[in-house]
Structure 1
Amino acid sequence: MTAQLVISDPCLNIHKFTTKQYQLMYETGVFAVSDRHELISGEIREMSPIGIKHAACVARTTRYFQIKLGDRAFVWTQNPIIVNNHSQPQPDLAILKWRDDFYANALPTPDDILLIIEVADSTIAYDRDVKMPLYAANGIPEMWLFDVNQQIIEGYCQPSASGYKRTRRYEQGDTLSINAFPEVIFNWEDLF
């Protein structure tokens, strides 16, 4: 008969934070201004540094969306959104329903979001395996994932509790449009 080692350590308990607790931490100065964190499923996660390919792709994409959409939607760049009571991610871009207050009174929620764009050079697995299912489960209608190394865009739509039901891959020569604005066409070359 072998002995079993049972560890009972109160330090192993995990505390899940709410978005209200997380926002209060920021307001009271728990994090340095330069810190890059996001709240995912109650856990505070450190975000990767932004590389040059990533930064250039976000800047280019932001500019094209602002030009093409004008006042029909609001381009929310690398700012927090509230997905649910335990998740406040910071997607690279969120295309939001237009609001005259520029979301000054409350952060955007899934009801405000038309499209999420995540740009990845070193975080492709995290964005695909953690953030994409989170967005789908919370009803965000569409997500695009830019892989800046492979220069591929993955498009996801038809959210469900188990993930997005429809996936499409875009490469050089392809065109894309947001489900909310099907008449607005983006060329792959404009985004890469």
Structure 2
Amino acid sequence: MAAVMHNPPVAAPHYKLTVDDYYRMGEAGIFGPEDRVELIEGEVIEMSPIGSFHAGLGTRLSEWLMPTLMGRATAWVQYPIRLSRHSAPQPDFALLRYRSDHYMKALPAAADVLLVVEVADTSVRTDREIKAPLYAKHAIPEYWLVDIPSRCVEVYAQPGDGVYRQVQKLAAGRLAPIAFPEAALDVAELFQA
């Protein structure tokens, strides 16, 4: 009779991709134009598809915020941000420090980001449990999670030690980026179709 061994699972060594590896893979055609992926902590993560309501919300955010901020901030819509050697997320929307080259010479880094926004339909949990700590770890000063199912915006601020120390949920009222308090929007209007 054979003895049954109850050993804990062995953690096999993992190879973390760098942002440079990730871009070389894209240049080599490993990712096709239909692939929606981003690099988070060295792993290629599949992104949720974007539906019309999600896309419209992202556009509405940009249209509300940018007229006030032209020449003072750069709108960054679904483009990568190089947070570290192993992470290049592609948030739905970000406000970056204004640069006259519009980041053509290099992707923005964490220090360039004033606000990052994820619009979540099916990815609320991922955006809350993976993206929020990632953005906090890299000291992004403000993160908005636009929660479509709950029709609210979770506002994360005061990053430190990999967490945001201030979190609030808004279903109504005015909301403005910390860096630009004059660029306010109405949260309830944001969700009106």
What is the TM-score of this pair, normalised by structure 2? 0.91
How is 1:24-43 mapped onto 2 (pairs within 5 angstroms)?
A: 24-43=24-43
Structure 1 partner of 2:80: 80
How is 1:49-64 mapped onto 2 (pairs within 5 angstroms)?
A: 49-64=49-64
The offset of 1:102, in angstroms, is 0.9
Structure 2 partner of 1:109: 109
Q: Deviations over 1:118-146 (max 9, x none)?
A: 00000000000001100001111100000
Secondary structure at 2:82 match in 1: coil
Count of aligned pairs: 190
2:90 alignment partner AA: Q
Contact 1:72/1:97, CA 8 A, preserved across alignment:
yes
The offset of 1:162, in angstroms, is 3.0
How is 1:39-188 mapped onto 2 (pairs within 5 angstroms)?
A: 39-172=39-172, 174-188=173-187
The offset of 1:184, in angstroms, is 2.4
1:183 alignment partner AA: E
Q: Flag the 1:189–1:13 CA change in 2: closer, same or farther, 3 A.
A: same
Secondary structure at 2:159 match in 1: strand
1:133 alignment partner AA: P
The offset of 1:9, in angstroms, is 9.1
Secondary structure at 1:127 match in 2: helix
Q: Deviations over 1:61-109 (max 9, x none)?
A: 1111222322210110011111111111000001001111110111111
| Structure 2: unaligned runs, 5 residues or longer | none
Moved over 3 A (4+): 5-10
Q: In 1, distance between residues paired with 2:66 and 2:28?
A: 34
Q: In 1, distance between residues paired with 2:182 and 2:59?
A: 23
Contact 1:81/1:107, CA 8 A, preserved across alignment:
yes
The offset of 1:52, in angstroms, is 1.7
Q: Deviations over 1:43-68 (max 9, x none)?
A: 00111111122111111111112223
The offset of 1:190, in angstroms, is 4.2
The offset of 1:5, in angstroms, is 5.9
Q: Flag the 1:128–1:8 CA change in 2: closer, same or farther, 3 A.
A: closer
Q: In 2, distance between residues paired with 1:7 and 1:176?
A: 49
Structure 2 partner of 1:4: 5
1:181 alignment partner AA: F
Contact 1:114/1:142, CA 8 A, preserved across alignment:
yes
Q: In 1, distance between residues paired with 2:88 and 2:51?
A: 22
| Structure 1: unaligned runs, 5 residues or longer | none
Contact 1:64/1:191, CA 8 A, preserved across alignment:
no
